[in-house]
Chain A
Amino acid sequence: MSALDAFRSDTRTWLEANCPPAMRTLMPEEEQVAGGKRAVWVRPEQKLWLDRMAAKGWTAPTWPKQYGGGGLSPEEALVLEEEMQALGCRPPLRGMGLSMLGPVLLEYGTEEQRRTHLPKIVTGEIRWCQGYSEPEAGSDLASLRTRAVLQGDHFLVNGHKIWTSNAHLSDWIFCLVRTDPAAKKHEGISFLLIDMDDPGVRPRPIRLISGKSVFCETFIENVRVPKENLVGELNKGWTIAKRLLEHERKGIGGIGARAQARFERPMQDIAKHYAGEENGRIADPALRAQIAGWQMKNHAFQLTRRRAAEAAEAGAPPGPLSAMFKYYATELNKDRYEALLAAEGVQGLGWEGEGFTEDELRITREWLRSKANSIEGGTSEVQLNIIAKRVLALPD
């Protein structure tokens, strides 16, 4: 038995013994665990499962052990993911600390910053949010205007951030701030970690088309931030900002391929249920073609993800393929909900109340939520610009 096979077998045994049965069921959106001081535990098993996984460092499997991570190799991390998928384990913890800030601190943070922040991300003690966009700085992110003025041992920060996901539930915010207004727009930006306990940081939820308020706008007024909370060099934050965006896009690009997929009812079964079945096939040929078209696109896309992963394992540099993932995955996810709505007919168009099942109402809201996929973390148009520039070398 190879070392990896042994790891797989140990992992399976451990998961079987330690993942509570309640954490091996389909996870409703409201039961996602993001941690933080304001965490709400719908059931005790969520906390138990998080604590057990965090103790092994498996909420952040590949992070070094000295920062609380699992210290796993990429291959071992993949095995862990596969075994969790096989058992139907819920992800114990999700969030921007794990997916975005952590990798950036590992690369650019000081030893002190890593020791202070990473272990609390691993355990879910602290929840992070992202202070990037501003009302006047969307796709043109580098035109941001939130000001941070260095005054001795601290920065004085003033500004207005928007689309700060879950800011009202978060404890800390990583922010892009302007530290040199005289420099060219990409060269006067710094990356700052801000404690939201400060009363000068005020998040306000924004109601979205889906009826939910996962996004906020966050006002920052005369907030003093210790100088040690600067990540990387002063005025060199844009490089870090872009690297973090790569992590963000990778996360968004992973939509549809996540664990828990096995609990989802296949689109074709939904179509048969609502549109009828003839000789074992979806009765409406146009709907059948739409569903098959989507499934094939998804199939080919998942194969492409695998191809990129295998090329990376074989030592190829992260190539042009990764540039397309965010664009393709988000467009695909939107198409998925359009196909589901087409399958459900008017049953997919309920907003709330009588006459609709929970699943029907959930899919309607998710359809609306999916529209943000191709906007957040860089719009599809921005992603296409990136492909045109970096991969195709088309002129500006």
Chain B
Amino acid sequence: MPMILSEEAQMVRETALEFFRERSPVTALRKLRDDADPTGFSRPLWQQMAELGWTGFLVSEDHGGSGFGVTGLAQVMEAAGRTLTASPLLSTALLGASLLELGGTEAQKAEYLPPLVAGEAVMALALEEAPHHAPTRNATAAKRDGAAWVLEGRKVFVLDGHVADHLVVAARSAGGRDEREGITLFLVPGDAPGVTRTRTIMVDSRNAAIVTLTGVSVGQEAVLGRVDGGADLLDRVLDRARAGLAAEMLGSAQEAFERTVQYLKDRKQFGVAIGSFQALKHRAAQMFCEVEITRSAVMAATAALDEGANDAALLASLAKAKASETFYLCGNEGVQMHGGIGMTDEHEIGFFMKRARVAQATFGDAAFHRDRYAALSGY
């Protein structure tokens, strides 16, 4: 498991950093928010990202992708995190592509992946039902009706859910609350009869929706993966999402940290730069350490996922937990060290703190992953 980037990954990283810096600075997110943009991301920007091949990093060459891997996509996500770019990278390029690649039939892959790679189709995973991440706490009913399935339930915090062309709905086809066995995944058109989608405006100005399913009928061809065996597929896909999101959070944390250190050098009080005060120096140095520690965890997790290593799940939890703690730290210290100006909407540092809180809660916060890490380690 290498802890240095390959030349190819390094090139992707540099391209992505420049891309987002030039075409999608934090002002772009502010504009989406202030315009109450109904899509919540820029479709032309997404199209450009697709043209750069990023949507196909987790898609095999047979279906139009490059199969470049999680580490490659993580470079893009980290760069996107630098500028808090809103895009379907997580929902579609990572989750959608992985669900289909790892769980789809040949027919499903052939149908869904090419438009996904082309940047034409947006996907969303409809998983959570409660305020806390709980992949198996699933009460959305999936009942057989002849050759068809009927779905009933309510999903929350569905990322890009209100604009997704296709939803992947996790539903309970058997078993009781919290049981791993009995979860089945279904591909459902975003505009299927019985699907109601309500966009939820989140504090980080990024996309999420409540999706209600009322008597939604789909055929057997909509089943993604094994009937009743969706939990394993979800685990694999979610671990990729955790590592990818951790990379995004790492980028955001690094940016918040660097902006804050710059402010400590620029801002003068008592006739000197406030960065000369030891009370602030030490906290800045501690942030530096945590960012570096997090970077190592993220690199190890994405490499392990690409290699299919045995400890990939453990490392994904490690990465997500560390990224959650570190981004939280850098967001909050960022606002505090910027002082009054950090409290204003005009200044961008607040956007980072807000994003930190939402990203923490996405696919398990630090407490969730501590407990999962312990369970995976046998305690």
Residues of A that sit less than 8 Å from B by CB: 268, 271-272, 280-282, 285, 288-289, 291-293, 295-297, 299-301, 303-304, 306-307, 310-311, 314, 320-321, 324, 327-328, 381, 383-385, 387-388, 391-396
Question: CB-CB contacts of B289-306 with A at 8 A, as 1s and 0s?
Answer: 100111111011000000
Q: Are B276 and A394 in contact (CB under 8 A)?
A: yes
List of B residues within 8 angstroms of A310 by Cβ: 2-4
Q: Are B281 and A304 in contact (CB under 8 A)?
A: no
Q: What would 4 more interface pairs be, CB under 8 Å, given A292-B371, A311-B4, A388-B284?
A: A292-B373, A303-B296, A384-B281, A392-B275
Question: CB-CB contacts of B96-122 with A at 8 A, as 1s and 0s?
Answer: 000000000000000000000000000
CA distance A271 to B374 in the complex (A): 12
Residues of B that sit less than 8 Å from A by CB: 2-4, 261, 264-265, 272-273, 275-276, 278, 280-282, 284-286, 288-289, 292-297, 299-300, 318, 321-322, 367, 370-371, 373-375, 377-379
* A296-B373 contact in complex given A324-B292, A388-B282, C-beta closer than 8 Å: yes
Q: Are B293 and A300 in contact (CB under 8 A)?
A: yes
Contact of A395 among B265, B297, B321 (CB under 8 A): B265
Q: Are A303 and B297 in contact (CB under 8 A)?
A: yes
Q: Are A304 and B379 in contact (CB under 8 A)?
A: no
Q: Are A291 and B374 in contact (CB under 8 A)?
A: yes
Most central of B281, B289, B293, B318 by chain A CB within 10 Å = B289
B297 nearest CB across to chain A (Å): 4
CA distance A385 to B91 in the complex (A): 42
Q: Are A268 and B371 in contact (CB under 8 A)?
A: no
* A381-B282 contact in complex given A292-B374, A394-B275, A395-B275, C-beta closer than 8 Å: yes
A374 nearest CB across to chain B (Å): 13
List of B residues within 8 angstroms of A393 by Cβ: 265
Contact of A292 among B278, B286, B289, B370 (CB under 8 A): B370
27 contacts between A and B (CB under 8 A): A268-B377, A268-B378, A271-B379, A272-B379, A280-B379, A281-B374, A288-B379, A291-B379, A292-B374, A296-B370, A297-B293, A299-B318, A300-B296, A300-B297, A300-B318, A301-B293, A303-B296, A311-B3, A324-B285, A327-B289, A381-B282, A387-B285, A388-B281, A392-B275, A394-B273, A394-B275, A395-B272
Q: Are B371 and A288 in contact (CB under 8 A)?
A: yes
The chain A residue with its CB closest to the CB of B281 is A388
A14 nearest CB across to chain B (Å): 29
Q: Are B273 and A395 in contact (CB under 8 A)?
A: yes
The 6 closest A-B pairs by CB, nearest first: A388-B281, A387-B285, A303-B296, A268-B379, A292-B374, A307-B3
List of A residues within 8 angstroms of B286 by Cβ: 384
The chain B residue with its CB closest to the CB of A271 is B379
CA distance A280 to B378 in the complex (A): 7
Q: Are A392 and B374 in contact (CB under 8 A)?
A: no
The chain B residue with its CB closest to the CB of A269 is B379
Contact of A392 among B285, B295, B377 (CB under 8 A): B285
List of A residues within 8 angstroms of B367 by Cβ: 289
CA distance A282 to B373 in the complex (A): 13
Classify the secondary structure of B's interface with A.
helix
* A314-B297 contact in complex given A304-B292, A394-B275, C-beta closer than 8 Å: no
The chain A residue with its CB closest to the CB of B314 is A299
Q: Are B293 and A328 in contact (CB under 8 A)?
A: yes
A289 nearest CB across to chain B (Å): 5
List of A residues within 8 angstroms of B300 by Cβ: 303
Q: Are B284 and A392 in contact (CB under 8 A)?
A: yes
List of B residues within 8 angstroms of A324 by Cβ: 285, 288-289, 292
List of B residues within 8 angstroms of A291 by Cβ: 374, 379
Contact of B379 among A282, A296, A299 (CB under 8 A): A282
List of B residues within 8 angstroms of A320 by Cβ: 288, 292
Q: Are B4 and A392 in contact (CB under 8 A)?
A: no
List of A residues within 8 angstroms of B273 by Cβ: 394-395
The chain A residue with its CB closest to the CB of B276 is A395
CA distance A320 to B276 in the complex (A): 20
The chain B residue with its CB closest to the CB of A268 is B379
CA distance A291 to B378 in the complex (A): 12
Q: Are B294 and A385 in contact (CB under 8 A)?
A: no
B61 nearest CB across to chain A (Å): 30
List of A residues within 8 angstroms of B285 by Cβ: 324, 327, 383-385, 387-388, 391-392
CA distance A271 to B379 in the complex (A): 9
Q: Are B282 and A282 in contact (CB under 8 A)?
A: no
List of B residues within 8 angstroms of A314 by Cβ: 4
CA distance A383 to B289 in the complex (A): 11
Q: Are A300 and B322 in contact (CB under 8 A)?
A: yes
List of B residues within 8 angstroms of A272 by Cβ: 379
B334 nearest CB across to chain A (Å): 14
A133 nearest CB across to chain B (Å): 21
CA distance A301 to B284 in the complex (A): 18
B279 nearest CB across to chain A (Å): 11
List of A residues within 8 angstroms of B378 by Cβ: 268, 280
CA distance A384 to B278 in the complex (A): 9
Q: Are B318 and A296 in contact (CB under 8 A)?
A: yes
Most central of B288, B295, B318 by chain A CB within 10 Å = B288
B196 nearest CB across to chain A (Å): 38
CA distance A311 to B297 in the complex (A): 16
List of A residues within 8 angstroms of B296 by Cβ: 300-301, 303-304, 306-307
B320 nearest CB across to chain A (Å): 11
CA distance A268 to B376 in the complex (A): 12
List of B residues within 8 angstroms of A282 by Cβ: 374, 379
Contact of A396 among B265, B276, B371, B374 (CB under 8 A): B276
List of B residues within 8 angstroms of A292 by Cβ: 370-371, 373-374, 377, 379
List of A residues within 8 angstroms of B377 by Cβ: 268, 292, 295
List of B residues within 8 angstroms of A395 by Cβ: 265, 272-273, 275-276
B295 nearest CB across to chain A (Å): 8
B150 nearest CB across to chain A (Å): 36
Contact of A328 among B2, B261, B289, B375 (CB under 8 A): B289
B326 nearest CB across to chain A (Å): 10
List of B residues within 8 angstroms of A327 by Cβ: 285, 289
